[in-house]
Structure 1
Amino acid sequence: MWNMLWPILLVVGANTFYNISTKSMPGKINAFASLTVTYFTCFVLSIFMFYITSSQKNLIAELSHINWTSFVLGISVVALEFGYISLYRAGWKVSAGSLVANISLACVLLIVGLLAYKESVSPRQLVGIGVCVVGLLLINK
């Protein structure tokens, strides 16, 4: 049970701080200047965590296993961060902006799972998408 629970708790906790810090970012700073500091911090922390968690301790050898996914993930993460910065700068409330984005994402990923990964979609999930769409309409009124 704990193996299933701790990743969710980590995602929720990290997302809470993520949204608070993104919403609190000074409006005068260029978003990409801020992201430069953010990703430098990520760079240092990732190297540190690699050496803590790796039994081999050979970062160069490990990097030889990289494929296209790391590069696309990097592009996606920068786009995601810039999107959230722009979302909050456009005036979205922290209580609504992330909610709308994540509900929309969940609906899109249900379709991606169906089409790209041949996951099944139950009638309950279809009703859930309908409830989400109604919720999005209510939130945005």
Structure 2
Amino acid sequence: MWNYLWPVLVVIGANTFYNIAAKSTPQNVNSFASLVVTYLVAALLAMVLFFITSPNKNLMSEFSKINWTSIVFGIAIVALEFGYINLYRAGWKVSVGSLVTNIGLACVLLIVGVLLYKEVISLRQMIGMAICAVGLILISK
């Protein structure tokens, strides 16, 4: 059970600080300058954690195993963070902006799951998507 639960807790905790940081990014700083610092810190932390957790400690060997997903992941993360910074700069409340984007994401990922991964959507999930759509309309007003 713990192996199933701890990643959820990490995502919730990290997303909490993520949204606080995005909302607190100064208005007068260029978003991309801020993201340069963000990624320098992230790269340093990732490298330290690699050497702590990897039994072989050969970073170049690991780089040779990387495929297109790391590049797309990097592009997606920059777009995500740029979007969140500007979402909050546009005036969204932290309590609403994140909720709206995450509900929208959940609905899109249900469709992606069906189209790309051959997952099956149950009637319960379809009803949930409809309720989410109504909720998005209500919360965005």
TM-score scaled by length of structure 1 = 0.99
CA drift of 1:27 comes to: 0.3
Q: For 1:41 and 1:58, how far apart are their aligned partners in 2? A: 21
Separation (CA, whole Å) in 1 of partners of 2:137 and 2:97: 13
Match of 2:78 in 1: 78
Aligned residue number for residue 5 of structure 2: 5
Instruction: Provide the C-alpha distance between the structure 2 equivalents of 1:18 and 1:34, rounded to a whole number of angstroms.
Output: 13
1:67 Cα deviation after fit:
0.6
- Give the secondary structure class of the aligned counterpart of 1:120: coil
Q: Deviations over 1:39-87 (max 9, x none)?
A: 0000000000000110000001110001100000000000000000010
The match for 2:111 is 111
Query: Which 5+ residue runs of structure 2 have no aligned equivalent?
Result: none
| Alignment coverage as a number of residue pairs | 141
Give me the TM-score of the superposition, normalised by structure 2: 0.99
Within 5 Å, give how 1:17-36 maps onto structure 2: 17-36=17-36
Alpha-carbon RMSD across the aligned residues, in angstroms, is 0.4
C-alpha separation between the residues in 1 aligned to 2:40 and 2:89? 23
Aligned match of 2:123: 123
Secondary structure class of the residue paired with 1:27: coil
1:39 corresponding residue in structure 2: 39
The alignment-based identity, stated in percent, is 65
- Where in structure 1 do 4 or more consecutive aligned residues deviate above 6 Å? none
Equivalent positions of 1:93-104 (< 5 A) are 93-104=93-104
Residue 30 of structure 1 deviates from its aligned partner by 0.3
- Unpaired stretches in structure 1, ≥5 consecutive residues: none
> What amino acid is the match of 2:51?
Y
The residue aligned with 2:137 is: 137
